[in-house]
Amino acid sequence: MLFGVCVCTSAGTYWFQKNISTPMNIGANGHAVVVERGTTLASIAARLHKENIIRVPQAMVLYARFTDQARRIQAGEYRILPGTTPTDFINLLVAGSVQQFPVTFIEGWNFSTLRSALAQQSRLGQHITNMTDQQVMAALGMRGVSPEGRFFPDTYLYIAASTDLALLHRSASKMTDFLKLAWPKRAKELPYSEVDEALVMASIIEKETGAASERRQIAGVFVRRLRLGMRLQSDPTVIFGMADQYKGNISRTDLKRHTPYNTYRINGLPPTPIALPGKASIEAALHPAAGKALYFVGKGDGSHYFSATLAEHRKAVELYQRSGRRKDYRSSPTTGPQ
């Protein structure tokens, strides 16, 4: 009789150990499991059994109860990888090791593009869909502030329970923190009265060039122009001011049109940033390169030719713009002091 009990006990132990330590039936790409708040482990196990991922759901539930983990599971989206056992999975649930998803904010984006990128994140809670830009900024505690340029370009990880507002808050805080550290270290005698003006300049630099080596040179040109009372004459600011009217080219009429962002017509900086400036562009705005150049013209490959005199600049325009302004044309100031 005792022998029979021992055999049954041993068999039961073997059955139990086998079913909690055998890897789950997971494909090569893994398997996503969404755990809603309030979901029980028993219902999760039943679902996995129905999906043919585990054979005996009772074993997983018993193990969690014996180890006092059944009530400690956390909500979220989890990724089960090949080789994961039921005990491994329970450990994931208890630790809250939820799957994280990336979204990247790109240097040079405007806020409309950033909003579109967030809207495409299917696992992200969408709270700003029906909000105006002004309402979004107010919700972030930045009432009355333009959203342009206020978010730090980077890759952000989020979990399925997160929201678009939470991501924007993280990005805005990162930009604020970076500016607080960078501003006191700026070069002396810059023509900015406050850090926001440096942010505006950085956004223009970001749109002017894709060549990292040129950012400080372009910053130098614009800083010298401001000091001399010259207009910036930056095409990206004109394009931003045109908004939906921009169709890929800038006409002479566009350059003459008065907008708050047409730096061919206004003195100084435009009222707000025109894009998301990255770290390198902010550093360039705060540490412009020394030199005498007051002009630059796009070569057509994303880089620029820099000139110290108007005569030299006109020759460069003739050389690089002979066949007319390209669709990817970048800024080319063409006049002297205003």
pLDDT (tens digit, 9 = 90+) per residue, 30-44? 898 988 888 899 999
The answer, yes or no, to whether residue 321 has pLDDT greater than 90, is no
Compute the average pLDDT of residues 78-88.
Answer: 92
Q: What is the spatial distance between Cα 83 and Cα 224, in angstroms, rounded to a whole number?
A: 62
The answer, yes or no, to whether residue 330 has pLDDT greater than 70, is no
State the pTM of this model.
0.79
Residue indicated by tokens 């908004």 = 243
| Both structure tokens of 144 | 């009355």
Q: Would you give the DSSP letter of residue 146?
A: -
Tell me the three state secondary structure of residue 299. coil
Q: Would you give the DSSP letter of residue 160?
A: T
C-alpha dihedral (284, 258, 110, 182), degrees to nearest 10: 30
Structural domains of the chain, with CATH: 17-95 (3.30.1490.480), 101-181 (no CATH), 187-320 (no CATH)
Phi, psi of 269 (to 5 degrees): -85, 155
**pLDDT value of residue 303:** 85
Contact present, 249 and 273 (Cβ < 8 Å): no
Q: What is the spatial distance between Cα 192 and Cα 176, in angstroms, rounded to a whole number?
A: 17
Tell me the three state secondary structure of residue 273. coil
CB atoms within 10 A of CB 29: 9
User: What H or E segment, with its residue span, contains residue 55?
Assistant: none
Q: How confident is the model at residue 331 (pLDDT cuts 50, 70, 90)?
A: very low
CA 82 to chain centre: 31
Over residues 89-131, the pLDDT tens digits come to 999 999 888 888 999 999 999 999 999 999 999 989 999 999 9
The answer, yes or no, to whether residue 12 has pLDDT greater than 70, is no
Contact present, 299 and 305 (Cβ < 8 Å): yes
Over residues 133-179, the pLDDT tens digits come to 999 999 999 999 999 999 999 999 998 879 999 999 999 999 999 99
With CA atoms as reference, report the closest residue to 70 among 79, 78, 61, 83: 61
**pLDDT value of residue 322:** 62
Number of H helices and E strands in the chain, helices first, is: 13, 6
Q: For the chain, how big is the Rg over CA atoms in Å?
A: 29
| Both structure tokens of 137 | 């900024």
Sign of CA dihedral 280, 285, 286, 290: positive
E strands of 238-327, at which residues?
295-298, 304-307
Q: How confident is the model at residue 19 (pLDDT cuts 50, 70, 90)?
A: confident
**pLDDT value of residue 6:** 45
C-alpha dihedral (129, 135, 140, 145), degrees to nearest 10: 130
Q: What is the spatial distance between Cα 136 and Cα 141, in angstroms, rounded to a whole number?
A: 9
Name the average pLDDT for the chain. 88
Q: What is the spatial distance between Cα 251 and Cα 237, in angstroms, rounded to a whole number?
A: 14
